A and B are shown apart, each in its own frame.
Chain A
Amino acid sequence: MSVIEAKGISLNRKGHRILNIFNLRIDEGEVVSLIGPNGAGKTSLLMILSCLFRNFSGKILFRGLEVEKDITAFEYRRKISMVFQEPLLFNTTVFENVASGLKFRRFNKRECRRIVYEHLERFGIIHLSTRLARTLSGGEAQRVSLARAFAIRPHIIFLDEPFSSLDKPTKDALMEDLERNIRDLKITAIFATHDRDEALRMSERIIVLNQGEIVQDGSPEEVMNHPCNEFVASFSGMETIISGTVVKNEGGIITISASGVYIDAVGDVAPTRKVILCIKPEDIVLYPVSHKLKSSARNTFTGTITRVVPSGFYQKIYLNCGIPLVAYITNSSAKALEISEGINIMASFKATSVHVIRQ
């Protein structure tokens, strides 16, 4: 059964369409990531789903009840919870902050105390209970914000990029606690982020949002390996994106011509159709030009390195082989291959690594 369902949502502001969502269903216990670039409408969608924004057209259904018709927005808001990018703590102690939602619901003192301590424990901040909120670090503050949102035991929790202003170690530790608590308490969660890795880690379902519309909705595997268009592809980490025309379709293998280069891919598309090819950088293997061994990969090209971008343990290599390719290579391999801008190199990738999107 769906916990929340949004139907025909559209939101316009100053003549611009900000959101246009035909139908969105979220089932009990699902942890859904809402992913998209800044300005895609993630926050707006969360605001509408949580009924904090009310100037939109369309319907929100909570367990089949239409909000503002069968139940009031206020009653609905008492069943949900929201965590923002900023902790937005109140100027009082940590304890009082976590207790605030309970106090709104007029829980008695003893019950309130018990629940607050339980949740302080859950987020590992029991030692901070008497501290003033404004003396906390960013990570601690966000933990308090999460504990506060969880303390009221919402049916659904909305998380609007809760980690985007935290540094990586803080973020990793916090994400672990958040994930554990969501699973423990079996709370339905909708998690907006612009970070692909966060989305992959947190959720079993990813909804990709672009320019106010849902462009893909599926499991992480689907979204990552079978992006349905160029945008999702680039978002899911496909660095090489080339458009071309199918010239041959034989026995499950199609050959595509892109700027005069022929690429083989797995698929079934009729010749003369225009397609887009996407390749993940980690699927492209680099060899020195002198390498004599024949690779098993169907696609092998020789090209020139146009740019090298170091990124931690990896280096991102931009190649020109008649078509632009992007590959990753470890720092040690890069040393062995004597990678530098301007040298020639060989690149190969399997036909199965090429993701084909019909146009």
Chain B
Amino acid sequence: MELIIEGIIKAIKLLFSLDREVMDITLLSLKVSGIATIISVFIGVSIGTLIALNEFPGKRIIVSLVNTAMGLPPVVVGLFVTIFLWRNGPFGFLGILYTPYAIIIAQSVIATPIVMGITIAAMQQLPKKLRLQILALGATRLQMVWLLIKEARLSLLAAVMAGFGGVISEIGASIMVGGNIKGYTRVLTTATVMETSKGNFDIAISLSIILLLLAYFINLILTHIQQKGHWR
């Protein structure tokens, strides 16, 4: 008990003194997961919209594949990204294993199906006739797609937050492809695990508090969306 209280007090001190190492790790996490989220939004929203708006054979199979991939275990992604990025692997020539870029790739792979799945669901929830109405008002195909995305924006924003929440709290892939290198690929989750095993509970606790705050913030937004988002 003493340990916990002591740890929390030290953690709060670390947080408020803006400890350099803690801050660096937090900013790197935000940066890496932020970029991964942006990438996954571009890929997920565009392909998700394409899948949702078009009818083609095998659509159901693809949609269920995407939905399955929404729950991809990060360690599995980490393993495959590692294998691909190995020096002697197919993309070894890039030389990006154990760099933040590798984490961004792995996290994008994790977040893209989440964003895509939610995008497909959001697009399919829009009334079917809405598309006809937009076309009947003289929209080009691009204008129609853009308007539909705007109509589904609340769900899409939820998708963004879900994707971001998924990757910022993920550890398996980050530690495998990033290697938890100090000041380079050490992110909130990998640092927490390492500091715990090193016995630096104060740092571990302060990192956890930051993670918890981020998670709380994300959930707050998601709840807001869910409660106020329905309008039709």
Q: Do chains A and B touch in the complex (CB under 8 A)?
A: yes
Interface residues, chain A, CB within 8 Å of chain B? 47, 50, 52, 74, 77-78, 80-82, 84, 86, 88, 90-91, 100-101, 104-105, 134, 148-149, 152, 158
In the complex, B21 has a CB within 8 A of chain A: no
B133 & A104 in contact (Cβ 8 Å cutoff): no
Of residues 167 to 182 in B, which have CB atoms within 8 Å of A's CB atoms?
none
Q: What's the interface size class on B, roughly?
A: 10 to 19
The reply to whether B138 and A90 form a contact with Cβ atoms under 8 Å apart is no
- How near does chain B come to A68, taking the closest CB pair, in angstroms? 14
Chain A residues closer than 8 Å to B231, beta-carbon distance: 91, 134
The docked-state distance in angstroms from the alpha carbon of A104 to that of B137 is: 8
Complex contacts, B150 vs chain A, CB 8 Å: 90-91
Task: Name the residue of chain B whose CB is nearest to the CB of A101.
Answer: B137
> Distance in Å from the Cβ of B56 to the closest Cβ of chain A?
15
Tell me whether B137 and A152 are in contact (CB under 8 A). yes
A152 touches B129 (CB 8 A): no
- B143 within 8 Å of A by Cβ? yes
The distance in angstroms between the C-alpha atoms of A74 and B133, with both chains bound, is 13
| CB contact under 8 A between A77 and B138, given known A82-B132, A84-B129, A86-B127 | yes
- Least Cβ distance of B231 to chain A in Å? 4
Closest chain A residue, CB of each to CB of B229: A91
In the bound complex, CA of A81 to CA of B129 (Å): 14
Specify which chain B residues have a CB less than 8 angstroms from the CB of A80 in the assembled complex: 136
Given contacts A91-B151, A134-B231, contact A52 B138 (CB under 8 A): no
Residues of B within 8 A of A (CB): 127, 129-130, 132-140, 143, 147, 150-151, 153, 231-232
Residues of B within 8 A of A50 (CB): 136
Give Cα A101–Cα B135 distance, bound, in whole angstroms: 9
Q: A104-B140, A134-B231 are in contact. Are A90 and B151 (CB under 8 A)?
A: yes
Among A82, A88, A91, A148, find the residue whose CB has the most chain B CB atoms closer than 10 A: A88
Distance (whole angstroms) from the CB of B138 to the closest CB of chain A = 4
B149 → chain A closest CB, angstroms: 12
A104, B138: Cβ atoms under 8 Å? Answer: yes
> Given known contacts A90-B147, A104-B143, is B137 in contact with A148 (CB within 8 Å)?
yes
- Are A84 and B133 in contact, CB atoms less than 8 angstroms apart? yes
5 A-B pairs with least C-beta separation: A82-B136, A134-B231, A101-B137, A78-B138, A88-B133
12 contacts between A and B (CB under 8 A): A47-B132, A52-B132, A78-B138, A81-B136, A82-B133, A88-B130, A91-B151, A100-B134, A100-B137, A100-B147, A104-B140, A148-B137
Tell me the bound Cα distance from A105 to B135 in angstroms.
Answer: 12
Chain A min CB distance to B189 (Å): 37
A80 to B135 CA separation, bound complex (whole angstroms): 10
Residue of A whose beta carbon sits closest to that of B132: A52
The answer for the CA separation of A50 and B136 in the assembled complex, in Å, is: 8
Q: Least Cβ distance of A257 to chain B in Å?
A: 52
Q: How far is the CA of A50 from the CA of B134 in the complex (A)?
A: 13
Closest partner residue, chain B, to A103 (CB atom): B143
A266 to B181, alpha carbons, bound, how many Å? 102
Q: How far is the CA of A2 from the CA of B14 in the complex (A)?
A: 80
Are B138's CB and A105's CB within 8 A? yes
Contacts A88-B130, A104-B140, A134-B231 given; indicate if A77 touches B135 (C-beta within 8 A): yes
Residues of A within 8 A of B137 (CB): 81, 100-101, 104, 148-149, 152
Residues of A contacting B138 with CB < 8 Å?
77-78, 101, 104-105, 152
**A134 contacts across to B, CB distance below 8 A:** 231-232
- Give the docked Cα–Cα distance between A100 and B143 (Å): 10
Contacts of A77 in B (CB 8 A): 135-136, 138
